[in-house]
Structure 1
C-alpha cells in the first residue's frame, strides 16, 4: 500500500523527475492546478495562457507528450485536453506543492469549536463535522485507543436471558454502555459481586490493560479461583473484549457527486456502513507521523479508487491516541486541506489531554 508522510508545512521539494526538465515540471504544475480548480481536461492553449512564462502552444504540446510518456497525464478520448493521472497527482503533492500555515482566523475557529464544554463523544463528532464543513468533504475521526481510556467504575445490569448491560464510567466523566452476551443468565447479586471485584482489582487501569489482565488471570488461575471469581472473569472477558477501533464520520453526502456510476455510489455507501475498510485504512495511518495521503488506488480498496484520503494522528500525553482526516475526490484542494487536517489533529490531541 503506497503511503506518503508530509512534514507539517513543507515547501516544494527537488523535482523527483529531473529528466523532465524544469519547464515540463512547471507546465505540469499549471495543468494540475487548473484541473483541480475546474475539474475538466486542460488544453494546451489554456496552459500557455495560464503560465507566467511566455510559451507557445506548440511548446506546451511537446512537453505534454513528454509528460504522457512518463505516465503523469492522460488524454481522455472525448477531449483534446489532458488531465493528471493518479501517478501524476502523487508527483504533484510530493514535489510541486508549497504548503502554507493555516490562517489565524481558521485556526482560532478550530480552537473555539473543540474547546467547548462537551463529552468525549460529542468532541469527536464536533471534530469530524468541522473537518467536513471546512473542506466540503467527508470528515473522519477514529475513537481513542483503549490504552488511552481508563476505567473509573463499572456496573452490570441484567436485561433478558443472557444479555447484560455493562455501564462503564471511563476517564473523568464519560459513560459507555455495552450490551454483552454472557455464558449463562446471572442474577443481580452475581452481577454486583462481579462489578465489585472488577472495580477493586482494575479501577484506574486502561481498558487495554484490563483486557490483558483478565485474560492472563483466566488462563493462569482457572483451576484455582473460586466460583465468584470465575463469574467475574467470565463477565469481564466479555465486557472488555478487543474490538476494532471505531470512528465517527460526517459529510458522506459530499462524496456522492464525484462517483462515476450508480454501482460506485453503492460501493461507497456500503463501505461507510460496514466500516471495516475505513477502519483498516485509519489503522494503517495511526502509527505514522505527520500528515499522510492515499491517492486513488493507493488505498487498496475499490470503493475509494476515485478518492483521496488525507489523515493525521492525534496524540495524548505523547502517545498516538487516534487518527483523523478527510476523504474526498482525487481532485481536491490539497493545499487547503492538508494544513487544516494537521492543525485539527494537534488541537484535538491537546483538548483531550487537558480535558
Structure 2
C-alpha cells in the first residue's frame, strides 16, 4: 500500500463527499474514480486513513467522511487555484462595473460572491487608518468656515468643516492647498496630519497656522476612526435554507458577532498562501461557533511601503481590507477559493492599484 495512492483515495473521498454530502464507500470510489485497484484495496486504504485521522466512519457499515485533518490535506494539496472561466470573469466585471460608488461596489461584490458560492459572503471596506491621501480641496463656505474635502487612495470621500479666524485670503488658501497636495499626496493620513502641522510653522504659511492645526485634526480623527471600516454581508438566508438548523445555528450566531468575524478575516487575509487565499477549517478559526465551518478569504489592495513610518512600516504591503466566504466544512473549496481570489483581484484594481484582469 503506497502513501501516494492512499492520498489519492483521500482526495477522491473529499471530492465525492463535497458533491453528495453522503458518507462515501469503497465501491462508489472505484466506480467513480480511476484508482487502478480493487474495491477491497480501496477499503483497506480508507481504514488506514481513518486510523491516521483523515477520515471518520459516522455509522457502522456506512461509508466514511473527511475530518478536519482530511479537509486540510485536501486544501493544502491544491497546487494552484483553478482560474474562473473567461465567461465567469466577464460576469464579475459586468456586474461590478455598473457600480456608482465604492460602497455600491462592495455591496455588489458581496452579493455576487454569495451567488457564486451559495455561502455567506463578507466584504470589508478599506479602513481609513490604512488609507493614504489622494487629494485635499479647501473651499470657503461662510465668513469664518471652510470646507475640507478629503479624498483617499481607496476612493473614500470625507468632508470636514473647519472654523478659522480670520478667514485666509483666496490667494493664501490656494497656495496652501497646492502645497498640501504637493507634500502630502501618497502619505498615510497620520503622517499627512504631521506634515500639515509642520507646514503651518513655516515662514511661507505661518499666517495659516490655525488652518493647518484644524486640517491636521480632521485627518487624525479620520485615521483613528475605528468605525471607518464597514462590513457588507450577503447569502445568510440562502445558507440557512440549504443546510440543517443544528449545523448552521452556531454559524449564524457567529455572523452576528461582526467584530469577531472582522478580526478573524483580517488576520487570515494577511497570512494568505501563494495561491492568494487563506483558508481556516473548523478549530483553526479559534471560534467555537465556527467548529463546523470553514472560512476562505483574501485581502485586496495593499499598504504602500513608501508612506509608512515608524511602527507602521511593519504594515507595508499588507491588504487594506478583505473579501471572504464562510460556509460548512464540506464546502466546494475549489470554486470558493477561485471566486474569492477573483473578486479580491477585481477590487484591488477598482481602488486604484495597477489595473489587472480579475483573474489573470
TM-score (normalizing by structure 2): 0.71
Instruction: Please tell me whether the aligned partners of residues 245 and 279 of structure 1 are also in contact (alpha carbons under 8 angstroms).
Output: no
Matching of residues 1-355 of structure 1 within 5 Å: 21-53=3-35, 55-77=37-59, 80-95=62-77, 99-145=81-127, 146-148=130-132, 150-153=134-137, 168-171=149-152, 176=157, 202=180, 205=184, 209-214=188-193, 237-243=220-226, 245-256=229-240, 257=243, 260=246, 264-265=250-251, 267-271=253-257, 274-286=258-270, 288=272, 290-315=276-301, 320-353=319-352
Deviations 1:283-323 (A, max 9, x none): 44136451222222212222322222222232379864432
Residue 310 of structure 2 corresponds to which residue in structure 1? none
Instruction: Please tell me whether the aligned partners of residues 55 and 66 of structure 2 are also in contact (alpha carbons under 8 angstroms).
Output: yes
Distance apart, 1:336 and its partner CA: 1.6
Distance apart, 1:227 and its partner CA: 7.0
Cα gap change, 1:85 to 1:139, in 2 (>3 Å): same
Cα gap change, 1:292 to 1:206, in 2 (>3 Å): farther
Distance apart, 1:349 and its partner CA: 1.8
Distance apart, 1:264 and its partner CA: 1.1
Instruction: Please tell me whether the aligned partners of residues 168 and 175 of structure 1 are also in contact (alpha carbons under 8 angstroms).
Output: no
TM-score (normalizing by structure 1): 0.71
In the alignment, the residues of structure 1 paired with residue 223 and residue 28 of structure 2 have an alpha-carbon distance, to the nearest angstrom, of: 60
Instruction: Please tell me whether the aligned partners of residues 75 and 333 of structure 2 are also in contact (alpha carbons under 8 angstroms).
Output: yes
In the alignment, the residues of structure 2 paired with residue 32 and residue 295 of structure 1 have an alpha-carbon distance, to the nearest angstrom, of: 14
In the alignment, the residues of structure 2 paired with residue 155 and residue 112 of structure 1 have an alpha-carbon distance, to the nearest angstrom, of: 37
Segments of 5+ residues of structure 1 without an aligned counterpart are 1-18, 158-165, 180-185
Cα gap change, 1:152 to 1:276, in 2 (>3 Å): farther
Deviations 1:332-355 (A, max 9, x none): 112222222222222222233279
Deviations 1:51-101 (A, max 9, x none): 324544432322111101211011224772211011111111222677432
Cα gap change, 1:175 to 1:346, in 2 (>3 Å): closer
In the alignment, the residues of structure 2 paired with residue 227 and residue 148 of structure 1 have an alpha-carbon distance, to the nearest angstrom, of: 23
Cα gap change, 1:342 to 1:215, in 2 (>3 Å): same
Residue 12 of structure 1 corresponds to which residue in structure 2? none
SS in 2 for 1:48: helix
SS in 1 for 2:246: coil
In the alignment, the residues of structure 1 paired with residue 332 and residue 12 of structure 2 have an alpha-carbon distance, to the nearest angstrom, of: 14
Structure number with higher relative contact order (C-alpha < 8 Å, ≥ 6 residues apart): 1
Aligned residues: 321
Backbone CA RMSD of aligned residues: 4.3
Cα gap change, 1:122 to 1:149, in 2 (>3 Å): farther
Cα gap change, 1:309 to 1:78, in 2 (>3 Å): same
Cα gap change, 1:151 to 1:299, in 2 (>3 Å): farther
